[in-house]
Chains A and B, each alone.
Chain A
């Protein structure tokens, strides 16, 4: 591939090759695809066993829906893989506006669930713009980063990107959805980091963040302006002392921890009680990993972990392979997003992170989350395909 300069792929003739060719299948990352499908299948199976008794008379309620979301997501993934992601650069303002607008609409008109507005209810399904917003933010922010690379001073660029990233973050924080807000923040930081922001800027950001944190947690409440809601503060701190806190979030952490631990080496299978007898709420969404841990034990948990490692490895590899900086930035953002969500979600399930409400990509039940994740993987495939078709030249990244 190093010297192939043509955009016309080598001629191959075998049955179905035309169709595969049109889908760019030969240029897609097979390992990434395998890992994705592996997680989807494992996720559907786990969802099936975890929710058999949730809705009387409809044991496959969640499985059928999740499978439908997966199929929609996979179709979009293949569609995205056919498109050259580089075109999105020109649409950055539109994409960014769409994201901010949808989040704002949700904030104003969305359906409230448990005291927070996160979803828009459409006739057949409700969707959660903040999940898609993650992917849109990666695509738009990466484009802005490259824009700023061309002009402006270091400090101004850093500040501009920060503002662009933190504005939607703040909107999501207001929903309130602390977990997704943090993911947005992580995506912003990743964009800055990959684009080569100086370490001194990160140090400055850290200092400002520390001051803000002290303000939010200590000063503001002291003067009567609570910024974090009670349950958010509780969630963030309860994991530090799980056994002496009777409140709900500590209960969940405790139950999840017991569930995962009780799974042992090979799992409890049908004997699973923690995740079967309603001890653990939200077991099909945020605590699906506890179900895996209890049912399939260390063997199952390690398998899931390896599949995620596979995804992250391929994302990092695609970062390097990308034909341009834009692809590198997008792949990096996706890698950071996946890493963060996997680490935080599993971390909650195994008692090393606070409960923040971050979904486990491809495994947690939920259409928006699954489809958004598959869109992100579609972007990775698009970057991979484009790198195969247009191998990077020395000059290209410069010109972009």
Chain B
């Protein structure tokens, strides 16, 4: 034992121990150096390379979307529901990489699932190439036979999966199709939009109508399972699972009965058109329909582009996807006259008592204008002018009303009453419409887009709702409700509230007033009396339809000239007279005189709303009437 031996020798006692400590120290220095230089190599010299690898490290995400919220009518009945189906999905990344094999697999798949190969290819081509692990649904609602076959032959279909998917059901068929809109896979452009942030290719979102506007409630929480994978896609750890949450239900203000009645009445003419019924105080939409329409379940099934085009974008289809009640941009004909009347009375061009002579013609420069059907009415005050719908009376107001620059008396009042801009309804794709004015026309002329600058003739046209004016039924309903409710320009809304699956109210849509318009009560009453007379008293333009209607209403016909098309029929009504609650606007393209097509639609809607039987047609005394 050298420790014992050495210890006695004084000077050298420590050297063997010191040597061993030195060896230990050397070992420590060696170990720390190895670690230090390895760290230097890893972090300082190769840091960038490892950083790239870290960023390449990824999580594979399998997304699972719960059922979308239901869309309910005002009474809580399901208008848009869900059904669970087994969907056939293709994961492009997992398909064979060799073109021949890929083609072979897809064509077999097309045959088995009863699809066409081009459709599958197109669906795959639409996939966002920047998103890995995305899947493309090529068919929903596989039949049990198809599921069995594909499950049994799973091995011969790499990259093909069968997954549970919810799709929309429409218990009422095509009822209110444009209002509901459709839900579909989020598009590549939409992924970049903030309202769709956090979504991935393959997620289903609302694409139009209520489905779009209330998507964030209806969509619910998208569940996902994140599986860490290595570079070759092998799972390398435990998945983290976030369960899907069902979406919240949206309850509409729509009265299902009025909706169905309106659509049936509009559909009976077989012509394009639209109607809207609205609560004049709250702006709640009671019914809204548009023709032509479509079967919304079309979008729950895979379809080909050719078929989509034939149904929705060919000239013959007449754009069934467009909700004409909020996106139709039409001249309105005489239903505009109450707006001209308001402008003229408020602008001091005349008083309610002022008598204006209607001799049946009006000469403006070289042009001689006539009443429709060449009627002659003689002396008229405002109320009677509205009742018989004298064109000459309103032409004179148009001639007198100042219009300069981008405004004018009639233009400004039309704008005040809600025309020329979006009403703010909770639906997408609302058309702003157009109120023609000198500046607008002159600009077009300067740009050689029209044949002449603004003339007084344009103002005369506007005074009776003809010419360049563009408005839709909803805007007219808002304008009439403003007159009827005493000046509140309401913001229309179709959704009453958002509820969770148990019916608990999560959010209520509060009625809003965009602005208040001051209209002298005497002026307002003269106009309302005129509209009342037009519908309810002999000689009124819609007396033949409403003369025997059990509820006193106010209504105005319109016949808009849309050369080269046949005339477009309009009717706007508010009821009951004296204490109006509802405003209904209807228009029928190529429908001729308003009293012939549009007024009967409004009559049906009002009869259903007030739960009365429409009276027998009344016969006007044989005086010449005009629109």
Q: Which residues of A contact B (CB under 8 A)?
A: 149, 154, 157, 190, 193-196, 246, 251, 255, 257-265, 268, 273-274, 277-279, 281, 293-294, 297-298, 301-302, 305, 308-309, 312-313, 316, 319-320, 325, 328, 332, 335-336, 339, 342-343, 346-347, 350-352, 394, 397-398
Contacts and interface: CB of A to CB of B under 8 A. Distances in A.
A350 to B, nearest CB: 5
B62 interface: no
Given A154-B1, A257-B50, A262-B50, A281 B237 contact: yes
B93 interface: no
B4 interface: yes
Contacts of A313: 28
A273 B53 CA distance: 11
A277 B234 CA distance: 17
A319 B24 CA distance: 11
Most buried by B among A261, A273, A302, A325: A261
A262 B53 contact: yes
Contact of B24 (A149, A265, A316): A316
A257 B53 CA distance: 10
Interface string B14-33: 00111011011101100110
B36 interface: yes
Interface string B28-55: 1001101110111011101111110111
B4 A398 contact: yes
Contacts of B48: 264
26 contacts: A149-B4, A196-B2, A259-B54, A260-B39, A261-B43, A261-B46, A261-B50, A261-B54, A262-B53, A265-B43, A277-B228, A279-B57, A279-B228, A279-B236, A279-B237, A293-B42, A293-B43, A298-B47, A302-B39, A312-B28, A319-B24, A325-B3, A328-B17, A339-B31, A394-B13, A397-B13
Interface in B238-261: 238, 240
A190 B40 CA distance: 30
A388 B97 CA distance: 76
Given A261-B46, A397-B7, A316 B25 contact: yes
Given A274-B57, A319-B21, A261 B49 contact: yes
Nearest to B49: A261
Nearest to B5: A196
Given A196-B20, A273-B54, A278-B240, A309 B32 contact: yes
B24 to A, nearest CB: 6
Contacts of B144: none
B5 to A, nearest CB: 10
B348 interface: no
A146 to B, nearest CB: 10
B28 to A, nearest CB: 5
Contacts of A281: 237
A87 to B, nearest CB: 22
Given A305-B36, A328-B17, A264 B51 contact: yes
Contacts of B551: none
A320 B240 CA distance: 54
A263 B43 contact: yes
Given A149-B3, A298-B44, A347-B34, 19 more contacts: A149-B4, A193-B24, A196-B2, A251-B230, A258-B54, A260-B50, A264-B43, A273-B55, A297-B43, A298-B43, A301-B43, A313-B28, A319-B21, A319-B24, A332-B21, A335-B28, A336-B24, A343-B31, A394-B10
A115 B53 CA distance: 33
Contacts of A320: 18, 21
B590 to A, nearest CB: 62
Nearest to A198: B2
Is the contact region of chain B dominated by helix, strand, or loop, or is it mixed?
A: helix
B130 to A, nearest CB: 19
B62 to A, nearest CB: 16
B32 A278 contact: no
Top 4 nearest A-B pairs by Cβ distance? A261-B50, A264-B47, A262-B54, A298-B43
B22 to A, nearest CB: 9
Contacts of A308: 32
B8 interface: yes
B47 A263 contact: yes
Given A298-B44, A343-B31, A398-B8, A278 B55 contact: no
Contacts of B4: 149, 398
B537 to A, nearest CB: 73
A260 B42 contact: yes
B39 A298 contact: yes
A316 B38 contact: no
B10 to A, nearest CB: 7
A13 to B, nearest CB: 37
Given A261-B47, A319-B21, A149 B1 contact: yes
A294 B237 CA distance: 20
B43 A258 contact: no
B186 interface: no
B38 A350 contact: yes
A261 B35 contact: no
A12 to B, nearest CB: 32
Contacts of B519: none
A79 B18 CA distance: 30
A350 B28 contact: no
B28 A316 contact: yes
Nearest to A294: B54
A263 B53 CA distance: 12
Nearest to B16: A196
Nearest to A261: B50
B59 interface: yes
Contacts of B32: 305, 308-309, 312
B46 to A, nearest CB: 6
A119 to B, nearest CB: 23
Nearest to B38: A350
A352 B42 CA distance: 11
A287 B391 CA distance: 89
A258 B20 contact: no
B43 A251 contact: no
Given A263-B47, A264-B44, A194 B35 contact: no
A196 B3 contact: yes
Contacts of B39: 260, 293, 298, 301-302, 305, 350
Contacts of B238: 278
Nearest to A328: B17
B388 to A, nearest CB: 75
Contacts of A351: 38, 42
A279 B10 CA distance: 60
Most buried by B among A262, A325, A342, A394: A262
A250 B10 CA distance: 54
A364 to B, nearest CB: 16
A265 to B, nearest CB: 6
B569 to A, nearest CB: 63
A194 B50 CA distance: 41
Nearest to A152: B1
Contacts of B10: 394
Contacts of B20: 193-194, 196
Most buried by B among A298, A305, A313: A298
